[in-house]
Amino acid sequence: MCIGRLLLASLFLFIAFPQCQYSLKAFLFLLVLWLYQNRKTCRIIWETLPRDIKIARSGQYVARESATFLLYYLCLTIFSERGGPFRGIALLTDIQLRLKIHQFKNSTLSSFFDSVAKRRPDHVALVDIASGRELTFAETAQFANAVANYFYEQGFRKGDVVGLFCQNCPEYAMLSLGLSKIGVITAMINSNLRLDTLAFSLHTATCTAVIVGENLIPAFCDVFSSGRIQSPMKIYVYGKGPNELPHVNLMEALKSASREKPPPVSMDFSSRYFIFEVLTYHITSLGTLFYIFTSGTTGMPKAAKITHARYFMMAYGCHRAYGITEQDRLYITMPMYHTAAGVVGIGQTFLCGSTCVIRHKFSASQFWADCVKYRCTVSQYIGEICRYLLMQPPSVAESQHQVRLMFGNGMRPQIWKEFVRRFKVAQIGEFYGSTEGNTSLGNITAADRASDARVLRKPK
């Protein structure tokens, strides 16, 4: 730690006095000492660079990228054990370092999830409150594989867009995960949209198909029968649909689809999966994963592009900032067609191995009872949710829950202390960000004020 601080100081000295040969010698000497002291980490960083990059790219490129990794790690080792603003620097450095590593590895949502599922296949991944079902990571992976294999057989390819018009349920998350395995973009359609706004969202996202939840069939039939959907669009209903709607029962179709993992990436020209492998090879961390629509308060909803890297930045940022662990159980009540639940919430399961308990709709009267019944330790809030909870009459469940963290945005200063006092929630994680924006703010000190924030830039 001492050598790291001296190295950083000598770097600033060298930048300030570039003509002084003593500052350069001091910097190089301390750099050699620091590299030797952290030789294991340096080896890991070097091994992180993919082999094709180290061979195909120039030595100058590799040196620059390796130096970037080392600079990130240097800042991390210096500031990680210090509090106050230094903790914020360490946090942002850690997130940027991991993002850089995963971009080099070309990590995608499916590769993140596959590594988690391989590590803990029998751990519960998703819980559905409506039906009481519990799905392990292995079962979730099998369902996602079936989705990928089925839609690939149906002719869907990288860059195609499939609209997802469903209410909160485990299938919502698993369908989007499966589509991402073959590079198909999921357009997350607001389940409250009707007629013109629904048709506008489907057309804006250039959807070639749409998956409709069984509960939303009447709303989709209205827009379909009115002729507002002009372009040909394949319709899949997850469940049983009406005869007057030309559709495929996706629930039945997936039963016969292969649940094996799609073929691994290789460039074997003799393989019968060669076309699939070439397709998969081009799914990159900067490729589009989702289209998430704005709320439409200033006009029609607008689609914001979410890449695999952006997904990681949002989900892992909250995971790292607020200390969410694999053992946590997240209570998801907000709509999964928005970023808060669909990326930041479900991302704790897909990226980090936590369990998500999914309720189809927020209920202030059942909030704490659900948290007690399903042993939830983390939940999310947005807007006036916390005020709605405070307006509820006292109940036994509000003193029996195990929720230690609630994170989100929109906690008003007037109710912050009262909320913590009444419900005994140990930590409030307040952050601000917009789906279409390129920065976010986070309060990482758990202070009951909005001024103590750190800026986190999002990748494009």
Q: What is the pLDDT of residues 366-421, one digit of tens each?
A: 999 999 999 999 999 987 899 999 999 999 999 999 999 999 988 888 888 899 99
Six token digits for residue 64: 């620059």
Worst-scoring range by mean pLDDT, 97-111, 246-260, 275-289?
Answer: 275-289
Q: Which of 66-70, 154-158, 162-166, 245-249 has the highest mean pLDDT?
A: 162-166
Tell me the pLDDT of the chain averaged across its residues.
80
Q: Residue 212's pLDDT is what?
A: 96
User: Which residues are CB-contacts of 33 (< 8 A; sequence separation ≥ 6)?
Assistant: 3, 7
The pLDDT of residue 79 is above 90: no
Of all residues in the chain, the percent with pLDDT exceeding 90 is 50
The strand pairing partners of 433, in sequence order, are: 440
Q: Ramachandran region of residue 195, left (φ > 0), alpha (ψ -120 to 50) or beta?
A: left
Q: CB of 190 within 8 A of CB of 337?
A: yes
If you count DSSP H runs as helices and E runs as strands, how many of each does the chain have, helices first?
19, 16
Sheet strands (E) in 258-328: 288-293, 303-307
pLDDT one-digit tens code per residue, 188-241: 999 999 999 999 999 999 999 999 999 999 999 998 888 888 778 899 999 888
| Superfamily for the 109-457 domain | ANL, N-terminal domain (3.40.50.12780)
The pLDDT of residue 78 is above 60: no
Worst-scoring range by mean pLDDT, 12-16, 45-49, 329-333?
Answer: 45-49
Confidence of residue 272 (pLDDT cuts 50, 70, 90): very low
Q: Residue 163's pLDDT is what?
A: 96
Worst-scoring range by mean pLDDT, 255-264, 271-280, 301-310?
Answer: 271-280
Confidence of residue 65 (pLDDT cuts 50, 70, 90): low
Q: Taking the C-alpha atoms of 390, 393, 394 and 398 in order, what is their torsion angle to the nearest 10 degrees?
A: -60
Confidence of residue 258 (pLDDT cuts 50, 70, 90): very high
Where in the sequence of the chain do the CATH 3.40.50.12780 domains occur? Answer: 109-457
* Between 386 and 438, residue with greater pLDDT: 386
